[in-house]
Each structure stands twice: as C-alpha cells, then as structure tokens.
Structure 1
C-alpha cells in the first residue's frame, strides 16, 4: 500500500465525504478544506488517503479504494447498518469505522492519522492506538464554542460531543486551529496545552475563486444591490437573520432596491420558514433561492454580486468569506470568532456587531446607499485572499506531521 518514497497521511472525514459538493447534506467548508489539503500535500510529496463512511446502503461491509489523483486515494468504509443513519446517530459507529481502517493498514507502514471533526477524532483514536501512529486533530467547530455563541433558535450541541472533544484534545499530538482566537478557545474552554495547538489558516483556490472580467461583474450590478449567502441552510448560518433584515430594510427604506440570493440546501422545514419570513417581510420577490451550486458556478456568482453575507453565530474561520474576497467582493460578517480574522473591518468588508435583524438591516443600508464606497474595498479584499494559499497550508501541516512522527518514534 505504501509508497516507499512518500510519507503517508490518512485524513479522516467520517461523516461527510471530501468529494461531496459543499452546500449539500452535511457538506460544507470542511469538505473543501480536506479536499484541497489532500491535493496540496500530494503535490508536496506525501501519499494521501482520505477515508469516509460509505452512505450507499447497497454496498456490503468493507473498504472500497478509489484513486482520485496521483498519490491521492479515497477510502470508503461500508459498515453494517450505518449507511442510512442520520448524523446524530453516527457516534455509535465511530469505533467500528476506526477499527476497520486500523485493520486495513495492519500490515502496512503506519500513516500519520489526521482526524477532521470530532466523530473522525473518536475513530482516529482507535486507528492511532492500534497502529501506534501519531494523531493530529482538527475540530473545525467545537461544541463548547458553538454552545457559547448559539442563538435561541439553535439546538445546543450534546454533552457527549463536548466530552469527546476534551478527551481528543488531551490525546492528540497536535490540534490544528484556524486562528489565534480559536487557539485561545481550545485552551480556555478545553484546557488544551498551548504548546500542542498550532494555528494554520485555510487556503483559497485561485484557479476557482478569482475576480470576474468587468462585463460579468457589471451584468448583475446594473440592478439592485445584491447580497449572496452561500452554505448550508440552517439557523447556525443565519439565513433567517438575513431574510428578517431584508424585511426591516424594506419597511424603513423602501426606496433602496436590494436583492438576496440564498445558495445552499437545508431541511424542508427551515426552507419553508425562510419563505414565510420573506412573505411576512414583504420581500418574497427580492429573495432568490438558488439551491446548491457547483464550486465554479458559486465562484462566478460571488464575483458578480455586490456583497457576500456571513451571518453565522459561530465560525472557526469562515472560508466562504475569504473565497468571496478572492473574487473581489467585500463581505458583511458577524463580529465573532474566526470571522474577525477572515474579514478586516472597514478594509475588506464590515463586521456586524450582533445577529439582530435591525443591526444587519442597518449594515445592509449603509452598504447599499453608497455602493461606490462599498466596492472600493474590492482591491483590499483580493489582496487579503492572496495571503492564504493551500501550498502554504500543506507545508505547515507537513511540519506538524513530521514533528509528531518523530515524537512517536522516540517514545
């Protein structure tokens, strides 16, 4: 299995496949992160396996291997009874997922194990322990931070998850976080050893996310001030805040033409709730539901709108915000967590102090009433995004992997 001239890393993404389109199901920024990290690591000389749970109920138990690119493989693990279980039921399969992978590598050189999200972390503990391999952890979101920031319409994260994350952080050789703010969170909320927490911001793919040609940008900007919200449709992401804000803006400033595009999918109940809010606010005709878009189409749309809005209650980073800036589009974002790092207030966009619809309506009005001043931030937004490359992300991860492998060898 192993390449003799390449060190191997196993990236665990149990609950969502890195090849799934972001904005569908449980796929989001983490899928983008794992996918690009894998390919950048392969480009840097690593042999990379990505492992995910098989969600096809027609497959018999076992591991299917698919070559995706040179030195990049996808391992799809089918477990009896796991294919049709919702995300909330997956914790009971995490151990079996890890044990299947441990057996898969039993006769091979042990890889570095890098778990993404807490479910993968639980599985990764079993893989790493069985193979005597180092465990690296990236939570992407944490229960403690989400519960701290959650709005009244968001369900709290279960105690089981927070306890598991605390144990994982204690056992991991390195915990990778996106920003210094997240580093402080895992130290303060989980008691992490600061020396074992490393800050590595995500990257942006400039081949996909880049400014459009002028004619394409002007095509949409000749109409109303247009705002895009992209990602999974759920209370955490704040689409309901935006729809309410548009309603308030319509009532207070009916002379300001605005439009909201919602790109992503969600539960039928939440989508129906958003439509009800739009009707009640008198803005049904100004809210455009686009569904999930392929990355290239999303990038093209990002570059053509006036603003991208990220109204999340909690984000470890906010990759969508940086992807929008790479397209030259300033961002409106909640003044919280990693969004403070992703968006430079007054330079590449604006941070909104809270998630009150009135606050967002005011921020939208200020941007829409002076679109020239808003668009003047486009150049700084592009420069901000250029600071973040996946090659640099991969190099920093590789350094962490090698340090952990050396530590395991010396133990």
Structure 2
C-alpha cells in the first residue's frame, strides 16, 4: 500500500537548526522515498524560501529566545487533503494541526519532542517560573489527550507522559539517526578538520566536548568543572550556540578551563567533529531522547551522559558510554576518565549498534503508528 499523505505542523523548522528540524527532515525524506507525501507547515522566516511541500504561516519574533519565531495559527489549502495530521508542537501550529484533523476527520498524531515546561526558565524565575511550568504542563497534557496517538522517542519519555496523566495511546518511535551521513570520516578528513579549527591530534591528548543548542535547561555549565577535575586533562570543545553561551563561557573561566568554542558548524562538518572527540559529554537531564548522543555514537564516539531523563536509556552504560549521577561533579569527572581509558572498546560497540538507531528503523515504526490510527 502506498504510504499515506501526511500534513506535519511544527513551530521550528528551517532555517533554524536543531534536533526537531533534523528529525522532521529525515523522516520526510524517507517517507517520500517510500512513495508517500509529507508536507510541512511552519513559521515563515525572512531568510528562508520554502521548497516543494513546505508551507509557511505568519510569524513574529519570540522575545525570550533569539532566533526562534513564533508561528501564528494557519492552515494552508494545500494540506487539506491529508490522510494523517502530525503535530510536532502543542502551540500555535499544533493547534492548527488539531483544527485541521477535526475539520477533515483525519487522525491526529502528536510528537513529544521537548517538555513545554522547560521554557518557563526563559520567561521568569522563582515562584513565577514554577507557576508557568505548572500551567504549561497542564496545557501540554490537555493537548496530548486530544491526539489519537502520541509519539515519543524513548521509554522514559513515555513513562513521563503516563505519569502526568496523558491517556492517549503512546508509542515509542526513536527519532533515528541518518547513519549514511553520521559515520566516521576518513583520516584525511579528520586531519583537515583538526587543522581548520586548531584542535589537537589524538597523540597530543584527549579531546572531549559537546555540540548542539546551548540552552539553560541542558545544564552545560556542569561540564567545565568536571573537565577540570578529570585526571585525564582533556581539551574541551563546544560546538553550537544558544542563550546559555555566556554562562558556559563564564563557567569555563571559573573552572580555569581553556575551552574552544567553535560556534555553529556547517552540517557537513558534524561527523568530523563527533569523530574528533574522544568522548561526547552530555549533562542535560531533560532530554526526550538526546539525538546528538546517538549521532556521536554513530560516528564511533562514546557518550558520558547524566543518569536522568532519556539519557538513562540512550547511553548504554559500559557499551556506548558511561553514566554519572545528576549534579555530581566528581562522578562526572570519573566517568570522563573511564570513557577515555576505555575509548577503543566503547567505540567498537558504538559502531556495532548503528543499525538499531537508523532513520529507516524509526520510519518503519512511524508508519506502523499511522496505520494503526487510520484503521
């Protein structure tokens, strides 16, 4: 049977670069290769021209987060023939998706990418932030309960939704990694990358780091003191950017760590960055999957991840990396040292698990969800 026509609604898409964008692009490309159609509705941006099957709504800047645009509700006529509506947000564009699903009597699938309560810290602090978080969680629960199915990228995320009262069908569908793209580059490419960014060769000492959005909720300020406390004395590298960048730089200065900040890298350079790192360090306790951790693993790089949230499952302790307890700097440093000492074996295990985390595997599961809600 030809895959169904899907209308995907999202609050974040190109030109914004993040995990949701990558996931949606990867799913869409694989869906089209299977003969289906997956249109995307997203907030318009002045510096991006939509391509085929991409439709924008009016948008305004989001005052609490530079670079993010808040989409205004809208349903383009071109997506009104959808068989399935897939909302990747519960906010304005998600409400548009809900409206469309009811209007054309099509099932609504909702993806749970990021806890909405996280954004309370961008708006306020203290009791006000707590009140906003409570209200956000209540709204999120009501929205997800209006869906025919909720897609989550990990079992911990599914358990979280059940614990906060989500009664809709919940299916675990990993975001998936493009394992054709995320693979270890050849030695010549890695040497050129290190020279371009003045990073040490492997025989000059270990390199650890992080790339992705610098959000306060990811607690990246825990990395510098852990690196400073590690006996292995690694070089620390940060890729990406975001609102917490200044705080991370200050944490490096306070810890006496001379970190390298590379900023946002072209996507084609990400495999080289991952493969250059001897360990990817990830203290974020709020991940629903932690896609960057899986991308690092696909390039043969073990992950030192916090034992909280989805990273409890995403990082397989002793196989693809090591865990450490949340906010335990000494244990974080020890896990870094263990990962570096065990780097070769961990790297082999990471590469052996690539097929289990592929986009193709994820889209197989996604198609099964669409089939189930359409029966």
TM-score range for the pair, normalised by the shorter chain length: 0.7 to 0.9
Residue deviations 1:335-370 (CA, integer Å, cap 9, x gap)? 1122122111011110112223232122223344x3
Partner of 1:397: 366
Partner of 2:51: 66
Contact 2:149–2:373 under 8 Å retained in 1: yes
Q: Secondary structure at the match of 1:118?
A: coil
Q: TM-score, normalised by structure 2?
A: 0.86
Asked if 1:277 corresponds to 2:251, the answer is yes
Contact 2:3–2:34 under 8 Å retained in 1: no
Q: Secondary structure at the match of 1:246?
A: helix
Partner of 1:409: none
Instruction: Please point out which of 45, 61, 66 is paired with 1:55.
Output: 45
Residue deviations 1:269-310 (CA, integer Å, cap 9, x gap)? x323222222222222xx000101122211111012201111
Alpha-carbon distance in structure 1 between the residues aligned to 2:118 and 2:215: 17
Instruction: Please point out which of 307, 313, 329 is paired with 2:301.
Output: 329
Contact 1:328–1:381 under 8 Å retained in 2: yes
Query: What is the CA-CA distance between 1:206 and the residue it aligns to?
Result: 1.8
Alpha-carbon distance in structure 1 between the residues aligned to 2:287 and 2:266: 22
Query: What is the CA-CA distance between 1:88 and the residue it aligns to?
Result: 7.4
Contact 1:245–1:357 under 8 Å retained in 2: yes
Q: How does 1:237-386 map to 2 (within 5 A)?
A: 237-249=218-230, 253=231, 256-267=232-243, 270-284=244-258, 287-368=259-340, 370=341, 373-386=342-355
Asked if 1:30 corresponds to 2:10, the answer is no
Alpha-carbon distance in structure 2 between the residues aligned to 1:347 and 1:299: 20
Residue deviations 1:367-404 (CA, integer Å, cap 9, x gap)? 44x3xx22221111112222122222222222222332
Contact 2:6–2:83 under 8 Å retained in 1: yes
Instruction: Please point out which of 129, 144, 150 is paired with 1:175.
Output: 150
Query: What is the CA-CA distance between 1:202 and the residue it aligns to?
Result: 1.9
* Alignment CA distance shift 1:349-1:74 (3 Å): same
Alpha-carbon distance in structure 2 between the residues aligned to 1:313 and 1:189: 17
Alpha-carbon distance in structure 1 between the residues aligned to 2:70 and 2:339: 47
Q: Secondary structure at the match of 2:288?
A: coil
Asked if 1:204 corresponds to 2:211, the answer is no
What 5-or-longer segments of structure 2 have no aligned partner?
195-200
Contact 2:285–2:311 under 8 Å retained in 1: no
Alpha-carbon distance in structure 2 between the residues aligned to 1:271 and 1:337: 23
Q: Secondary structure at the match of 2:357?
A: coil
Provide the aligned length of Structure 1 versus Structure 2. 358
Q: Secondary structure at the match of 1:207?
A: coil
Q: TM-score, normalised by structure 1?
A: 0.79
Q: Secondary structure at the match of 2:313?
A: helix
Asked if 1:123 corresponds to 2:96, the answer is yes
* Alignment CA distance shift 1:241-1:405 (3 Å): same
Contact 2:322–2:339 under 8 Å retained in 1: no
Q: Report the more deviating stretch, 326-335 or 161-170.
A: 161-170
Q: How does 1:114-193 map to 2 (within 5 A)?
A: 114-119=86-91, 120-143=93-116, 158-193=133-168
Alpha-carbon distance in structure 1 between the residues aligned to 2:142 and 2:270: 37
* Alignment CA distance shift 1:366-1:394 (3 Å): closer
Query: What is the CA-CA distance between 1:266 and the residue it aligns to?
Result: 1.5
Specify the structure having the higher radius of gyration (Cα): 1
What 5-or-longer segments of structure 1 have no aligned partner?
23-27, 68-72, 407-411
Query: What is the CA-CA distance between 1:169 and the residue it aligns to?
Result: 1.9
Query: What is the CA-CA distance between 1:145 and the residue it aligns to?
Result: 8.7
* Alignment CA distance shift 1:207-1:313 (3 Å): same
Residue deviations 1:199-242 (CA, integer Å, cap 9, x gap)? 11121112211123346568731222111201111222222100
Q: Secondary structure at the match of 1:222?
A: helix
Partner of 1:20: 15
Contact 2:303–2:322 under 8 Å retained in 1: yes
Q: Secondary structure at the match of 1:315?
A: coil
Contact 1:56–1:83 under 8 Å retained in 2: no
